[in-house]
């Protein structure tokens, strides 16, 4: 059962207990203003977990979203001696003398808008005081915080479902929804425009149609999508019905890369060179780009045949 925190406040003494009590779009914001997009002054949110009876296992669940920087901002930060890169959230807890110490150097952050993360706190507390601080200089907005304490283990089963079909096509762009203070961008899938919203990259994208062969295995044959594209996936139905009292959930597992058109992104204006599974970082892409084989060249001829003409975007601006 969820165990709610007794109190939540930040370094300025602001009380965020009500904002973190449930997931309702009211966000705890510990900073007064950001230094750059994605970067704030040092902040923390302190959580008082209340009285716990010598628990063996404590898990903290946090829901929120992060506003990231981008390539140009990161380069600017690296060239400004007054600033440093964002420090992502860490956990601090008081020691036996009441002094705060870092017990989890990197606890993770919500990788989406918004998302929930789980943090294992089982070994971070000393004594009988169950308080912690989430410290960071990253621009993060928290919506909910709760614990589970000595949660009983339950049986789980994992079943892989075969990808039956995958259809790539042009769809367009969903309409932005109105957003409140500190809320992330949200979109209405049912409201769509087919007008291009940004100039496309040059190079070759995957042709429209059946692309299931490209998505069934982790290899160097990639489904390359451009702005406005959509792929519709269909999976096989599970073979066995759920046992009584069980609940089914789904995880979409995917492997891939994304590239924006920031002017400081390496090859940010072109689709190519394509990434490959064995590459360790962008240096491999620059120094040892994907070399052709009979199979890979056949993939390029069969699938990588589409371009997105930039004239569509510029004409839409003229109209």
Count CB atoms within 10 A of the CB of residue 13.
Answer: 7
Give 46's strand partners. Answer: 9, 133
Per-residue buried b or exposed e for 232-253, using 16+ beta carbons within 10 Å of the residue's own CB? eeeeeeeeeeeeeeeeeeeeee
Q: Note the pLDDT of residue 262.
A: 87
Query: The domain at 3-149 falls in which architecture?
Result: Sandwich (2.60)
For residue 145, pLDDT beyond 80 = yes
What pLDDT, on a 0 to 100 scale, did the predictor assign at position 29? 98
Is 32:187 a contact under the CB 8 Å cutoff?
no
pLDDT of residue 319: 66
> What is this structure's pTM?
0.90
The pLDDT confidence band at residue 26, using thresholds 50, 70 and 90, is very high
The DSSP line for the chain is: --EE-SEEEETT--B-TTTTSS-SS--B---SSEEETTEEEEEEEEEE-----S-S-EEEEEEEEE----HHHHHHHHT-TT--PPPPPEEEEE-TTS-EEEEES------SSSEEEEEE-TTS--TT--EEEEEEEE-EEEEEEEEEESPPP---------EEEEEEEE--EEEEPP--TTPPP-EEEEEEE-S--SPPPBS-BPPSEE-HHHHSS-SS------TTEEEEEEEPPPSSPPPTT-----------------TTSTTTTBSPSPP-TT--SHHHHHHSPPPP-HHHHHHHHHH--B---THHHHHHHH-
Q: Is residue 42 within 8 Å of 92, Cβ to Cβ?
A: no
Asked whether the beta carbons of 176 and 186 are under 8 A apart, the reply is yes
Pairwise CA distance, residues 279 & 288, whole Å:
9
- Bigger pLDDT: 76 or 205? 205
Cα–Cα distance, 241 to 243 (Å, whole number): 6
Q: Which residue has the higher pLDDT, 41 or 74?
A: 41
Confidence grade of residue 36 (pLDDT, cut at 50, 70, 90) = very high
pLDDT higher than threshold 70 for residue 170:
yes
What pLDDT digit, counting tens, does each position of 171-190 carry? 999 999 999 889 999 999 99
pLDDT at 280: 85
pLDDT of res. 28: 98
Min mean pLDDT across 7-16, 195-204, 287-296, 305-314 is at 287-296
pLDDT tens, position by position, 93-144: 999 888 999 999 999 999 888 999 999 999 999 878 899 999 999 999 999 9
pLDDT digits (tens, 9 = 90+) for 248-270: 999 999 999 998 888 888 888 89
Predicted local distance difference test score (pLDDT) of residue 74: 86
Task: Work out the number of other CB atoms within 10 angstroms of the CB of residue 120.
Answer: 12
More confident residue, 235 or 84: 235
More confident residue, 313 or 3: 3
Q: How confident is the model at residue 224 (pLDDT cuts 50, 70, 90)?
A: very high
What is the longest distance spanned by two Cα atoms in the chain?
Answer: 69
CATH code 2.60.120.260 region(s) in the chain:
3-149
């Amino acid at each position: 059962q969820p165990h709610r925190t007794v109190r939540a406040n930040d370094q300025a003494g602001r009380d965020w207990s009500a904002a973190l009590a449930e997931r309702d779009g009211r966000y705890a914001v510990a900073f007064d203003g950001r230094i750059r997009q994605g970067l704030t002054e040092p902040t923390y949110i302190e959580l008082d977990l209340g009285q716990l009876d010598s628990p063996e296992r404590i898990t903290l669940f946090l829901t929120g979203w992060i506003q990231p920087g981008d390539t140009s901002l990161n380069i600017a930060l690296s060239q400004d001696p007054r600033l440093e890169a964002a420090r992502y959230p860490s956990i601090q807890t008081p020691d036996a003398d009441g002094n705060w110490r870092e017990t989890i150097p990197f606890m993770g952050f919500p990788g989406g808008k918004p998302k929930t993360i789980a943090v294992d706190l089982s070994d971070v507390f000393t004594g009988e005081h169950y308080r912690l601080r989430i410290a960071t200089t990253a621009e993060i907005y928290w919506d909910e915080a709760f614990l589970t304490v000595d949660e009983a283990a339950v049986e789980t089963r994992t079943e892989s479902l075969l990808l039956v079909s995958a259809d790539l096509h042009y769809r367009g762009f969903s309409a932005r929804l109105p957003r409140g203070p500190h809320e992330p961008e949200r979109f209405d899938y049912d409201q769509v425009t087919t007008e291009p919203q940004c100039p496309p990259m040059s190079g070759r994208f995957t042709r429209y149609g059946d692309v299931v062969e490209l998505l069934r295995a982790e290899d160097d044959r990639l489904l390359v999508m451009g702005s406005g594209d959509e792929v519709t996936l269909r999976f096989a139905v599970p073979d066995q019905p759920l046992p009584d009292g069980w609940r089914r959930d789904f995880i979409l597992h995917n492997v891939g890369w994304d590239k924006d058109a920031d002017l400081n992104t390496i090859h940010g204006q072109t689709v190519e060179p394509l990434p490959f599974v064995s590459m360790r970082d962008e240096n491999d892409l620059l120094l040892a780009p994907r070399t052709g084989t009979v199979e890979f060249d056949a993939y390029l001829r069969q699938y990588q045949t589409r371009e997105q003409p930039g004239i569509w975007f510029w004409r839409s601006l003229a109209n």
